[in-house]
């Protein structure tokens, strides 16, 4: 019995997405990895096809589709072997803040442009001295008449160079505590005082334009605040469940791809006069790896199903995030070893996959934080 009920519409959508990525993304992955950024044109082509922000309501230009459409786009993007095009971050992490908490004016102004790909979004939480501990952010937002003056620095911001629109977490320095003083603001690229100060060079995700951002007396309209004043921390806590679930989807889909490619490699590589898939130790390793990947798929599908039903699965997603990402790293290690010297070469997708999987244990709250959340809710 399948856990997720994909309709004929879902399956047809998957075929469209797969064909699009095979034509428009896969042939360009190596080029984008070398240039260190994905062109904005691919975002607009995705938007024209209806592959961005599928959950945005129809009145704002979206499909008003269920979460399975987001799952499909993310899984098929992972199958290209390309992690730099952070469309899932845009569609399913950043834009939902505007959909859920933005004023009607903000929704009508920005959502259609996010759906079309004319605006690329990012979210700026992490700072040099504040990552998983969001209460420690130092970026300040001080009201001055009808404006808010922002000062501070953000780092490790995905889509940081390409972004046209930013969800910014900042605190009111006069608030009594860090939690009640936090707010989220919508900031447009090009706003005076907002600088994309540095593109970061990373071990993996080479074509992802991760950046440092600086705010120096950056003035934004007060009406660009999302939700009520002081509600930023609670908004982040509400949306982090889906963000961490997106990481689980990437981890499991990535593990499935690595396993599939390695099984094919082992069936074609000849050693001692026969395919290396016939060697007993390799067969056992493949079986063990396949079992882990299958367990990850079942775990993930149950998380997706519960999330779509509106259940509070903070503990389950925290467990899922650390288990699926650590599983993906184990699979990457095993698949690289099975492919031997070939897997270690840069012209083999396995080398890039091995590098790219590593950061998933850090994204959206480190795995150590996830384990801490899990045991805390267990009463320990």
The more confidently predicted of residues 126 and 347 is 126
Tell how far CA 81 is from the center of its chain.
Answer: 15
d(CA 287, CA 294): 10
Burial call 270-305: b when 16+ CB within 10 Å, e when fewer? eeeeeebbeeeebeebbeebbebbeebbebbeebbb
Percentage of residues in the chain having pLDDT higher than 70: 100
Question: pLDDT tens digits, residue range 335-351?
Answer: 999 998 888 888 888 88
Question: pLDDT tens digits, residue range 147-175?
Answer: 999 999 999 999 999 999 999 999 998 88
Least confident of 186-195, 283-292, 348-357: 348-357
Would you name the residues annotated as active-site residues?
243
Residue ranges and CATH numbers for the domains of the chain are 8-85 (1.10.540.10), 123-230 (2.40.110.10), 234-377 (1.20.140.10)
Of 163-177, 240-254, 277-291, give the range with the top mean pLDDT: 240-254
d(CA 349, CA 342): 10
pLDDT attached to residue 64: 95
d(CA 46, CA 48): 6
Query: Region 96-106: what's the mean pLDDT?
Result: 96
Question: pLDDT tens digits, residue range 4-15?
Answer: 999 999 999 999
Q: How confident is the model at residue 1 (pLDDT cuts 50, 70, 90)?
A: low
Strand 147-157 to strand 211-221: parallel, antiparallel, or no bridges (unpaired)? antiparallel
Report pTM.
0.94
Question: pLDDT tens digits, residue range 303-329?
Answer: 999 999 999 898 999 999 999 999 999
């Amino acid at each position: 019995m399948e856990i997720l009920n994909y309709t004929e519409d879902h399956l047809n959508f998957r075929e469209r997405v797969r064909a699009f990525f095979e034509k428009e993304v896969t042939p360009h992955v190596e080029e984008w990895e070398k240039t260190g950024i994905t062109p904005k044109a691919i975002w607009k082509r995705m938007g024209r096809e209806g592959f961005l922000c599928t959950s945005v309501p129809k009145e704002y230009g979206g499909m008003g589709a269920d979460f399975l459409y987001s799952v499909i786009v993310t899984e098929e993007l992972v199958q290209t072997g390309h992690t730099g095009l952070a469309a899932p971050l845009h569609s399913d992490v950043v834009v939902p803040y505007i959909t859920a908490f933005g004023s009607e004016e903000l929704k009508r102004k920005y959502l259609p442009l996010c759906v079309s790909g004319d605006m690329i979004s990012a979210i700026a939480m992490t700072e040099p001295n504040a990552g998983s501990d969001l209460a420690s952010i130092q970026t300040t937002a001080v009201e001055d008449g009808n404006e808010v003056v922002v000062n501070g620095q953000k780092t490790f911001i995905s889509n940081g160079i390409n972004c046209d629109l930013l969800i910014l977490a900042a605190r009111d320095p006069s608030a009594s505590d860090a939690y009640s003083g936090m707010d989220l603001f919508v900031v447009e690229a090009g706003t005076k005082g907002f600088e994309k100060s540095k593109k970061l060079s990373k071990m993996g995700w080479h074509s992802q334009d991760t950046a440092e951002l600086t705010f120096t007396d950056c003035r934004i309209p007060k009406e660009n605040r999302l939700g009520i004043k002081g509600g930023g921390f609670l908004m982040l806590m509400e949306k982090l469940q889906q963000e961490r679930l997106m990481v689980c989807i990437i981890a499991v889909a990535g593990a499935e791809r690595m396993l599939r490619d390695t099984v094919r490699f082992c069936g074609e590589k000849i050693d001692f006069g026969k395919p290396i898939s016939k060697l007993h130790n390799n067969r056992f390793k493949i079986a063990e790896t396949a079992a882990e990947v299958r367990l990850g798929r079942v775990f993930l599908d149950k998380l997706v199903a519960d999330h779509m039903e509106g259940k509070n699965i903070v503990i389950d997603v925290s467990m899922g995030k650390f288990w699926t990402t650590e599983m993906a790293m184990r699979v990457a290690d095993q698949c690289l070893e099975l492919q031997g010297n070939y897997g270690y070469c840069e012209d083999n997708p396995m080398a890039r996959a091995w590098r790219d999987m590593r950061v998933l244990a850090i994204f959206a709250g480190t795995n150590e934080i996830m384990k801490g959340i899990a045991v805390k809710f267990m009463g320990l």
